[in-house]
Structure 1
Amino acid sequence: MGSQPTNETSWSAQAVISSLPHPPLENGSSPVPFFHLLERLKTTKREGWRRFDINHGESISDHMYRMAIMTMLAPPSLARKLNIPHCTKMALIHDMAESVVGDITPVDTEVTKAEKARREAEVMEYISKTLLGGVYGGSAGEKMQAIFQEYEDNETLEAKFVHDIDKMELLLQAIEYERTHGGKIQLTEFYAL
């Protein structure tokens, strides 16, 4: 993701954001700068596929979009137990921090799982307070940050469901890439995630 420092102690959301060609306008009353930041989710590819020379693979937003649709199609027996609109929001928010952090995969050795979580929490706080803090009294940003944290904590039934949807979407994509490449690539390592 651009000029991100890889040193865990030197990485900061503000440093990455400042290095962007068009950093978002901060502390305003309009959500438009936030919308511009989200554009990065449309153009940032999911990194796990690149190791298999799938260079024109899905973007982060492609992944989040299909997850959101999948939440709406929960089996009725499960849907009765869930707040489906909340799950859909969670699917759309869970990787939002990757607009700044980038897509760090489980096989990446440069960034620990704890450091990845720290970076994502820092970005979500930046989004909530700096980009959306002055929008509609800050409530929209606070809600997004709370939903993100709920996903990260993975304690509610909705969070567990969205985590499962995250894995299911990954499996679907792996199968689709194997089919597209006529069986020339094996993505079975993704089946165990």
Structure 2
Amino acid sequence: MTISNDTPPTANGGTADEATQTNGIQDPEASKLSKEDIKQNGRWTVESVLSEITPRYAENTDSPVPFFHLLERLKTTKRAGWCRFGIDNGESISDHMYRMSILTMMAPSSVSSKLDILRCCRMALVHDMAEALVGDITPVDNVSKVDKSRREAETMDYICDKLLGRFNGGLNGKEIRELWQEYEDSVTPESLFVHDIDKVELISQMVEYERSTKCTKDLGEFSWVATKIQSKEVKEWSDHLFRERLLLWKEFGKEPKWADGMKIPEA
């Protein structure tokens, strides 16, 4: 069964695809703020966030420990999209990135023979790192994709230059920054695979939340992200999850909703 090809709006006025926050912005200059930009009242900057953190992370040291402390924010910051649907005790940003990294390791030989899977695993672990300070922005926050990209790039510059720039000659920070930018640019085969993994991880979590709520919450609008999956192998995982979803809802005598543009696999 195929449904129309229009992108569905979410309950908050954005689209399900936007809610994944895979922005695809190829704007390496987005983080280059002028002094005038920083002076503008209300403009988001790393400094505006750091000013509220006590104690502040020690900068320009030869130790990675301040960076270790920053990572704690990824463990405690919830993925905002689920929160807006009333999911209690939802996953953190770290939870999401951890499972993504494991999923990259499950790549079959048809994929792993063509890609650097270790690089994919590392990319998955850093792709949302900027959210430690930026937070998990959703469409309801009214932040444009360009501004979201600017905030995240500025944060990664802070992490990799001021927190890690003097540790081990700056090599570790440089590698993290390059991995993050590669994911954002979405050009290399590895980055495209990790984007697919990002989507199938979301679909996995969607089905699991529906199961945990005994299908009292229908998160079907997020199913639209599957239409953006490029890898045949990852698409097969997505189809498997959707077949699980159909059987799950059938157990409760209900029909789940699906996003527009979906080709629904048979149960």
Place the TM-score, normalised by the shorter chain, in its bin.
over 0.9
Query: Percent of aligned positions with the same letter in both sequences?
Result: 55
Alignment of 1:1-193 (within 5 A): 10-105=43-138, 107-193=139-225
Shift of 1:44: 0.3
Give the TM-score, by structure 2 length: 0.68
C-alpha displacement at 1:155, in angstroms? 0.2
| Structure 2 unaligned regions, length at least 5 | 1-39, 226-267
Contact 1:8/1:115, CA 8 A, preserved across alignment = no
Shift of 1:51: 1.3
Letter in 2 for 1:42: K
Report the number of matched residues: 186
Verify the 8 A CA contact 1:71 1:162 in the aligned structure 2: yes
CA–CA distance in structure 2, aligned partners of residues 169 and 42 of structure 1: 17
Distance in 2, matches of 1:71 and 1:9, equals 39
Superposed CA RMSD in Å reads 1.3
Which has more radius of gyration?
2
Cα distance per residue 1:85-110 (max 9 Å; x no partner): 000000000000000000012x2342
Per-residue CA distance 1:16-40 (angstroms, 9 max, x = gap): 0121132211100000000000000
Q: What secondary structure sits across from 2:140 in the alignment?
A: coil
Counterpart of 2:246 in structure 1 is: none
Runs of 4 or more above 4 Å deviation = none
Q: Check conservation: 1:97, 1:124, Cα contact below 8 A.
A: yes
Deviations 1:90-134 (A, max 9, x none): 0000000000000012x2342111111000000000011000000
How big is the shift at 1:8? 9.1
Are 1:41 and 1:96, in contact at CA under 8 Å, matched by a contact in 2?
Answer: yes
Structure-1 separation of matches of 2:85 and 2:54: 29
1:108 maps to a residue whose letter is V
Q: Which has the higher contact order (CA 8 A, sep 6+)?
A: 2
How has the CA–CA distance of structure 1 residues 77 and 60 changed in structure 2, closer, same or farther, with 3 Å as cutoff?
same
What CA distance in whole angstroms lies between the structure 2 residues aligned with 1:85 and 1:23? 33
Structure 1 counterpart of 2:249 = none
Distance 1:188 1:22 in 2: 42
Shift of 1:158: 0.2
CA 109–81 in structure 1, closer or farther in 2 if over 3 Å, else same: same
Q: Which moved more, 1:76-85 or 1:20-29?
A: 20-29
- Conserved? CA contact 1:41–1:61, under 8 Å: yes
For the residues of structure 2 that align with 1:111 and 1:38, how far apart are their CA atoms?
24
How many Å separate the matches in 2 of 1:159 and 1:8?
36
Q: Matches of 2:108 and 2:94 in 1, distance apart?
A: 24
**Residue type of the partner of 1:135?**
F
Shift in Å at residue 46 of structure 1? 0.2
